[in-house]
Structure 1
């Protein structure tokens, strides 16, 4: 069985904070060179998705299928398409994704099946036997499937139901020559609809759910959910029976698989789509289809009205529910939820070539829809990440991939992911003619120019921009959980609104025009607050009672975080120690499920307020734990963390932060003697704390022993290696003794051992030779120079493809009455006293 998420540390509302990445398995990466993407290939690319910042993967159908509708025609619900791999490969994918804290959402197409599905084959044979007036022995158990589908002797029933795929179908009924009867289908005629009036169908669907959820799948997208039931004198959509069934399915899933999510695909107007939340007891998520085309419409019209109008029509939803927001319904810009006049307008401006139109939609990718305008692409993505809901990114949109609508159906938006300028765009080693679809060679979007490898190297690329905007969105809960309030400046070309959550207030301003615009915002209730532009962290002029005037360039946008007034900031300057809701366990805290809070909130808070942090004046972007090393084999022992700090205005820096958990009396002692060393408090863990381990006697002794005993401590991607002087006396190997932290203000952390040894932990690390260590070692081991503390040993951090980095320096302690820092400060103070006399 595949690894399941650690439910003890899962936020049951995790889907509200998710960033979902949608992909076809066949399109992403081919690991075995057969021209088709597969599960093993996807596993190889999970690190890319983790670096992008997404937190969940939505896999389009991967079941056995005739593939007449790109896998939505399922022939077997309990297996995977062998061209993608095996069930064991899928389990390996789940394990690999969960190890990286990536959720996996799959498709549950329950409205219809393929006509090749064994259920349908049995049903048609049973229907034929029943029509003949006798059940022949050869049909065996087929009779149990007779009513699995909707059969009729006439195609005149349910005449008020619309035909969805008018380009391909003329009726919702199809004649079956085996059953000698008509079967109902809301989509293609090769996709017969299941009969949800039959309780046996309910049982079968529950078995399918159980099969995949027990394997570890985190969510199920319920495809075409409005069409489950049929009734005369209705349009056969959104019927009460459908909602009753969804409540039953949700109760079943919640009882057996807590913290899993159901995502309803209901291509309906807001009021009907919101009904699929029920009272919080149906699906937890539902797609907001009407908003999608109206974002494109507002951009083209240069008017905010389409966006505001549809969102004001959107009813409020239960607290435990969330809209799913997207810029295209996977492989098309669907236009079902617009008026005929609006659809004509969208075709006119976004699909002038008739080949780009399909059914009631436009089969184009994001970049070609927007004429490859970088400003428009950024603007629409910014709106996507700003709207109230969980954003969904379609594979390849993060690099601006193109399409090829001449491939037919919607295949133009399903071409191979473009990884590099190599053959087949780096997607596969197969002969190019063997690929499931050809790579994009349109000159404007050619894979040799538009690919991940090229954009990785260019910090100004769309890929890097997408990473930054995702990371910034994750910094503010207001985007994922906050309220929405529109500001209505007189200039209709400017869209402005507030996102608010607890103490966070974000002002989003977007210029929908291709020309520069100005707008006056009514922010008088925030008088005294200072808008901070979140990407640059630049402060704008304070807000006053009068309207706030702002200017924007063509298709420009701003995210402003409102900072409290100056007096309030001064009052709150004292550091507030954050809290952690996870169990007091370092394995859980440093695991993928909790590391995000540690990197986004806990460690930055501590680092910024630490004496040894020397870059306080720089604009901080984010922090990432790149390695953790257990100094002790004990489960509750300290860990030495190596973290990368990224800035907006300076190169990346690496710091060493030792951490440990203490509870009971140990926690009280740290609180009394070194309260500034407390990194965080654990909630509901008996007063447990996470603290800087240099204030732990055991950790200090372990550092000493690691050096003098030449220990090698293995990590995931690096090692710590102890180096001791050749002149080290044998009795020193056990002479750690008692120790204390040297509390003077400095950029490193120093410790004294029995006044006989002095240990320095370098906080800021730099690759290569440390002159402090090299000079001290040379003078000790190769000269008779007496006026320097004797070198005893060092601790090196070693990584592949990088020079060793010194983490600790151990010396003989020298009797002293102070330190050079204090002496220097005192001397400068006396100098200024003399000057002022």
Structure 2
């Protein structure tokens, strides 16, 4: 169904979203930390890239225990990033160029320095149950080491936090334990309290009234906790897994939809957990229910991850395809996909799913081709469009992320890991800090990110991988991204075409078609991607091979006439990490 006849046509389906991690994007004042004015200075870069939406990671007032995801004041800008006037200038600069702005909504938890928590720990009136408070248990009620209360009591449940260690901390002022599924400085809000929900809806309205165009909702499927927070000592560990998709989550989000979101917004919910049940996904995306535009699931992000942050698992292409195919089929008639392979919480995609050595440019552009020609809305994480790679961490001192540091230090202290050196390769592969090294603007000092000392190390390969060089180089990753963004705007089939996978069990080639029936006939894309460092041959099915096609886009120089003849013959010979996109009109 084409754009003109699609009753569900929405602007956010047709958009390309660019994610900015402000701390690492561009520093305007030389303190080594990126800021809002630095983003304003680079808005023309975003406009030139052609993106439609900017997703801004948290800029709110925060003590930065988790780099801004621990919010002290939702209506204020943290001093390091600037002022509300700076934010207004950014909003206006983006909107003047036709670029929309969405903000991070972090309301599963706050900072322990938030005024709500300060009042809650004092049991002050209505704030007493804004958070999850519980009495401790007998120390022998659990069989694993944990923090203890003043009388040697154990935490209320055996849950562990996402960042390692108990998911409960004892507060001496109140004399009880509070729940934190993440860092101890991130206490979980009690959404069962209707006043908490109203506070959240009010702050959402406050930002929408300031002219934003939607929200990315941090770990939003954790806001409903299991009934009674069961204290069974044999219950599974891992607080996030116990809390995911809780018993009232759809009630809460449906209320949010009715109260706040019933307007033309982009809303994307982050859904943590190893596998999100499709029935939950459809409910989150039901416009008459929870009403989210799209969601981030983690199924493909966990294929290569072990239990600990430094552990890796083998994966193959057929597994990755199976995840994407399952989600396309599952949401075909009841939702919309958000397409990503990296973000601020994940390592760089070219180092993870591609080849960041000899074929860095080719594999970076192949992965980009995949994300921009599947059905769904593509998300570009800052630096992805340059083919930025993971950082070669050599010591604990180079790391900044609590999700890496906390469990690693605990494991070293417990003797479970001999040293950083023993797990260095795994940390290099998996740490979230890979995504948080500064944006590489130039080959100059600190990659042109700052005139000061950067808060985290700049990747030493910035002399070869940077914006200035990418702009000046024919066939660069950056130039290819511009072409992909333009392709989405020019061809309806890229957005609304049906997806049909080819060769689902092939571990070398990912091939598929996108087909759109319109008033003027049928438009089809044929996409073929070689996920190996060797030349490979692709024999297309007879109903895909056609003489009516033309070569549309690829990441190698080709003889377009010869490439078109290859499509007609159904015999494609793809070079290492080669991507080809054909268009057929019937």
> Where on the TM-score scale, by shorter chain, does this alignment land: which range?
0.7 to 0.9
Q: For residue 165 of structure 1, what is the aligned residue in structure 2?
A: 163
SS in 1 for 2:286: coil
Q: Offset of 1:381 from its aligned partner?
A: 1.9
**Structure 2 counterparts to residues 720-731 of structure 1, below 5 A:** none
Cα pair distance change 1:119/1:404, threshold 3 Å? farther
Contact kept, 8 Å, 1:288 with 1:325, in 2: the verdict is: no
SS in 2 for 1:94: helix
**Structure 2 counterparts to residues 353-372 of structure 1, below 5 A:** 366-367=350-351, 370-372=355-357
Q: For residue 110 of structure 1, what is the aligned residue in structure 2?
A: 107
Question: Deviations 1:613-668 (Å, cap 9, x if unpaired)?
Answer: xxxxxxxxxxxxxxxxxxxxxxxxxxxxxxxxxxxxxxxxxxxxxxxxxxxxxxxx
Contact kept, 8 Å, 1:158 with 1:236, in 2: the verdict is: no
Q: For residue 261 of structure 1, what is the aligned residue in structure 2?
A: 266
Cα pair distance change 1:525/1:480, threshold 3 Å? closer
Q: Offset of 1:279 from its aligned partner?
A: 2.3
Cα separation, 2, equivalents of 1:77 and 1:227: 19
Q: Offset of 1:560 from its aligned partner?
A: 1.1
Contact kept, 8 Å, 2:21 with 2:344, in 1: the verdict is: no
Cα separation, 2, equivalents of 1:454 and 1:43: 22
Q: What is the aligned residue count?
A: 493
SS in 2 for 1:562: strand
Q: Choose which of 250, 262, 273 in structure 1 pairs with 2:257.
A: 250
Q: Offset of 1:226 from its aligned partner?
A: 1.7
SS in 2 for 1:144: helix
Q: For residue 133 of structure 2, what is the aligned residue in structure 1?
A: 151
Contact kept, 8 Å, 2:304 with 2:315, in 1: the verdict is: no
Q: Is the counterpart of residue 330 in structure 1 residue 344 in structure 2?
A: yes
Cα separation, 1, equivalents of 2:541 and 2:383: 39
Q: Choose which of 297, 311, 318 in structure 1 pairs with 2:324.
A: 311
Contact kept, 8 Å, 2:549 with 2:582, in 1: the verdict is: no
Cα separation, 2, equivalents of 1:551 and 1:149: 60
Q: For residue 48 of structure 2, what is the aligned residue in structure 1?
A: 51
Deviates more, 1:108-117 or 1:309-318: 309-318
Q: For residue 486 of structure 1, what is the aligned residue in structure 2?
A: 501
Q: Offset of 1:274 from its aligned partner?
A: 1.7
Q: Is the counterpart of residue 541 in structure 1 residue 547 in structure 2?
A: no
Q: Offset of 1:489 from its aligned partner?
A: 7.8
Question: Deviations 1:229-248 (Å, cap 9, x if unpaired)?
Answer: 22245822202300111111
SS in 2 for 1:420: coil
Contact kept, 8 Å, 1:20 with 1:58, in 2: the verdict is: yes
Q: Offset of 1:542 from its aligned partner?
A: 8.4
Contact kept, 8 Å, 2:180 with 2:186, in 1: the verdict is: yes
Cα separation, 2, equivalents of 1:180 and 1:115: 15
Cα separation, 1, equivalents of 2:525 and 2:9: 25
Cα pair distance change 1:414/1:303, threshold 3 Å? closer
Q: Choose which of 523, 526, 529 in structure 2 pairs with 1:504.
A: 523
Q: Is the counterpart of residue 287 in structure 1 residue 296 in structure 2?
A: yes
Q: Is the counterpart of residue 401 in structure 1 residue 388 in structure 2?
A: yes
Q: Offset of 1:491 from its aligned partner?
A: 5.4
Q: TM-score, normalised by structure 1?
A: 0.55
Q: For residue 529 of structure 1, what is the aligned residue in structure 2?
A: 548
Q: Is the counterpart of residue 182 in structure 1 residue 177 in structure 2?
A: yes
Deviates more, 1:365-374 or 1:468-477: 365-374
Q: Offset of 1:66 from its aligned partner?
A: 0.8
Cα pair distance change 1:312/1:381, threshold 3 Å? closer
Q: Offset of 1:76 from its aligned partner?
A: 0.6
Cα separation, 2, equivalents of 1:12 and 1:214: 25
Cα separation, 2, equivalents of 1:383 and 1:118: 45
Contact kept, 8 Å, 2:544 with 2:570, in 1: the verdict is: no
Cα separation, 1, equivalents of 2:579 and 2:544: 22
SS in 2 for 1:540: helix
Cα pair distance change 1:513/1:415, threshold 3 Å? closer
Cα separation, 2, equivalents of 1:267 and 1:552: 36
Q: Is the counterpart of residue 37 in structure 1 residue 34 in structure 2?
A: yes
Q: For residue 463 of structure 1, what is the aligned residue in structure 2?
A: 478
Cα pair distance change 1:422/1:489, threshold 3 Å? closer
**Structure 2 counterparts to residues 269-280 of structure 1, below 5 A:** 269-272=275-278, 274-275=281-282, 277-280=284-287
Q: Choose which of 413, 423, 435 in structure 1 pairs with 2:435.
A: 413
SS in 2 for 1:524: coil
RMSD: 2.9
Q: Offset of 1:428 from its aligned partner?
A: 2.5
Cα separation, 1, equivalents of 2:465 and 2:305: 23
Cα separation, 2, equivalents of 1:528 and 1:109: 52
Q: For residue 80 of structure 1, what is the aligned residue in structure 2?
A: 77
Q: TM-score, normalised by structure 2?
A: 0.77
Cα separation, 1, equivalents of 2:541 and 2:300: 25
SS in 2 for 1:472: helix
Q: Offset of 1:534 from its aligned partner?
A: 3.5
Q: Offset of 1:295 from its aligned partner?
A: 9.6
Question: Deviations 1:714-744 (Å, cap 9, x if unpaired)?
Answer: xxxxxxxxxxxxxxxxxxxxxxxxxxxxxxx
Q: For residue 193 of structure 2, what is the aligned residue in structure 1?
A: 198
Q: Choose which of 119, 132, 136 in structure 1 pairs with 2:116.
A: 119
SS in 2 for 1:541: helix
Contact kept, 8 Å, 2:285 with 2:335, in 1: the verdict is: no
SS in 1 for 2:77: coil
Q: For residue 578 of structure 2, what is the aligned residue in structure 1?
A: 556
Contact kept, 8 Å, 2:304 with 2:314, in 1: the verdict is: no
Cα pair distance change 1:99/1:52, threshold 3 Å? same
Cα separation, 2, equivalents of 1:385 and 1:294: 21
Q: Choose which of 8, 15, 18 in structure 2 pairs with 1:21.
A: 18
Q: Which has the higher contact order (CA 8 A, sep 6+)?
A: 2
Contact kept, 8 Å, 1:302 with 1:513, in 2: the verdict is: no
Cα pair distance change 1:467/1:125, threshold 3 Å? same
SS in 2 for 1:30: coil
SS in 1 for 2:538: strand
Contact kept, 8 Å, 1:489 with 1:519, in 2: the verdict is: no
Q: Is the counterpart of residue 212 in structure 1 residue 199 in structure 2?
A: no
Cα separation, 1, equivalents of 2:21 and 2:529: 32
**Structure 2 counterparts to residues 668-679 of structure 1, below 5 A:** none
Cα pair distance change 1:550/1:51, threshold 3 Å? same
Contact kept, 8 Å, 1:531 with 1:542, in 2: the verdict is: no
Unmatched runs of 5 consecutive residues or more in structure 2? 1-7, 142-154, 236-241, 307-312, 402-431
SS in 2 for 1:313: helix
Cα pair distance change 1:196/1:383, threshold 3 Å? same
Cα separation, 2, equivalents of 1:318 and 1:563: 23
Unmatched runs of 5 consecutive residues or more in structure 1? 1-10, 127-141, 334-363, 565-837
Cα separation, 1, equivalents of 2:503 and 2:457: 47
Q: Is the counterpart of residue 225 in structure 1 residue 220 in structure 2?
A: yes
Q: For residue 681 of structure 1, what is the aligned residue in structure 2?
A: none
Contact kept, 8 Å, 2:70 with 2:109, in 1: the verdict is: yes
Q: Offset of 1:368 from its aligned partner?
A: 7.5
Cα pair distance change 1:326/1:416, threshold 3 Å? same
- Which structure shows the higher strand fraction? 1
